[in-house]
Amino acid sequence: MKGLITMDDLTNDDIHNILADAQRLLPVARGETYLPLLQGRILGNLFFEPSTRTRMSFETAMKRLGGDVVNLGDVKTSSVVKGETLFDTIQMVDGYTDIIAMRHPRQGAARYAQDAARVPILNGGDGAGHHPTQTMLDLFTIQQSHGTLEGLTVILAGDLRYGRTVHSLSHALVRFGCRLIFASPELLQMPTEIVEDLREHGADVTETDDLLGNINQADVVYMTRIQKERFADEDEYAKVAGAYKLHARDLGNVKSEMIIMHPLPRVDEIHPSVDATRHARYFEQAFNGVVARMALLCRLLGIEVPAEIQGGEA
C-alpha cells in the first residue's frame, strides 16, 4: 500500500490492524506518554481548501509521535495562486517531505497527486469524493462504543449528496455487513451511482426522508450539516433542515447503546441538549482523529507500532 486515497486501498484486515494500532496509541495521543516513533520524519500538510480538524489533527498526530510538519499555508499567498499545477506543487513538496496529507476542492486530486508523487499521499478530502482518514476515525469511534464493526444498523442523515465523509463511510460499513439507512431531503440524497455500487456489493440500503421515524432501530446515527447555500431560498432550507435536527427529547425510545456521531462543525442539527446524553460521541470522535491519523502515519511510513506501549491499556 502506497497511500490512502479511498477505502478501497485498505483490506478489512488492514482496517482491523490499523484500529488496533490506534487503540494502543491512545495514551500517546492523550499526551500521557511520549513515543517518538516518527522522529526525523516530515509531514507535508497541503490544504488547498479550509480545514480545521483534519489539518490540526494531522499536525498533532505527527508531533505527538516526534515528527515534524510543514504547511502549504494559505493558498491565496502560495504559488498556487500564480497558476502552478497540482503536478508541480506535488513535485516540490515530494522533495521536502516523507509523507503528504492533502485536501483539494477538485475530485480525483488525491489519486492524481499519488500518481505524481514518490511519497505516500493521505487523502484528507477531494471535492465531494472521498475522505478515508475521517472514515478510519469514524470506524474507530464505532468500534470503541460497540466493540465491533459487524452487523450494525447505521443511519446516515442530512446532506448525503455533497458530504464526502458519508460516501467513504458507507462503502466501509457495507464491507462489515452493516445495514444502512440514508435519511435525507430529496435534493440531498446519496448519489445514485454510490447507492448502486453499495447494492452491487450486497448492501442492505434503505433510502428515506424520515430520520426520527427510523431512529429507534439504529445502533449509530451519523449526522451531517445541511448547508443553506444548497437551497434556492432560505424558506425552503428552513423547511427541509428542520426535519434533520436532533434534540434530547427525540431520544426517549432509542436503543440504550445507540451513539450519535457528527464530523463537525455542527450548526444546529444537533441541539446542545444532546451533548449531556449517553448517546453523544461527536467530541470523542473529533479527538479520535488524532489517534487514527497517528496509526495511519505509522502504517504508511512503514513504522511498526509496538505491541505494548508504556501507560497503554493491557
Partner 1 sequence: MAEEHNMRRVTAIKNGTVIDHIPSGQALKVLELLSLSTDTSVPVSLVMNVPSKKMGAKDIIKVEDRELTQSELDRLALVAPESSIAIIRAYSVAEKLNVNLGDEVRNVVRCTFSNCITQNPREPLAHRLKVTRTDPLALRCHYCGRPQNMDELILNLL
Q: In the complex, which residues of this chain contact partner 1 (CB under 8 A)?
A: 6, 83, 85-87, 104-109, 111-112, 115-116, 126-130, 193
- From the list 53, 55, 245, 299, the catalytic residue is 53
Q: Is 245 part of the annotated catalytic residue set?
A: no
Q: Say which of 6, 24, 41, 54 is annotated catalytic.
A: 54
* Residue 131 is among the residues annotated as catalytic for this protein: yes
- Least distance in angstroms from the C-beta of 248 to partner 1: 38
Least Cβ distance, residue 56 to partner 1 (angstroms): 25
Read off the C-alpha cell for 11: 483490506
Rank residues 127 and 312 by Cβ distance to partner 1 and give the closer one.
127
Q: Looking at 131, 164, 167, 299, which residue is catalytic?
A: 131
**Whether the Cβ atoms of residue 178 and residue 198 lie closer than 8 Å to each other:** no
Active-site choice (103, 111, 130, 245): 103
Residues 6 or more apart whose Cβ sits within 8 Å of residue 98: 41, 42, 43, 119, 301
At 63, the amino acid letter reads K
Nearer to partner 1 (CB atom), residue 26 or residue 109: 109
Pairing mode, strands 121-126 and 42-47: unpaired
The cell for 243 is 426535519
- Residue 141, helix vs strand vs coil: helix
Residue 286, helix vs strand vs coil: helix
Is 53 one of the annotated active-site residues of the chain?
yes
Q: Which of 138, 136, 110, 111 is nearest to 47 (CA)?
A: 110
Active site residue 103: yes
Nearer to partner 1, 202 or 252 (CB): 202
For residues 24 and 130, which CB has a smaller minimum distance to partner 1 in the complex? 130
Indicate which residues carry an active-site annotation.
53-54, 82, 103, 131
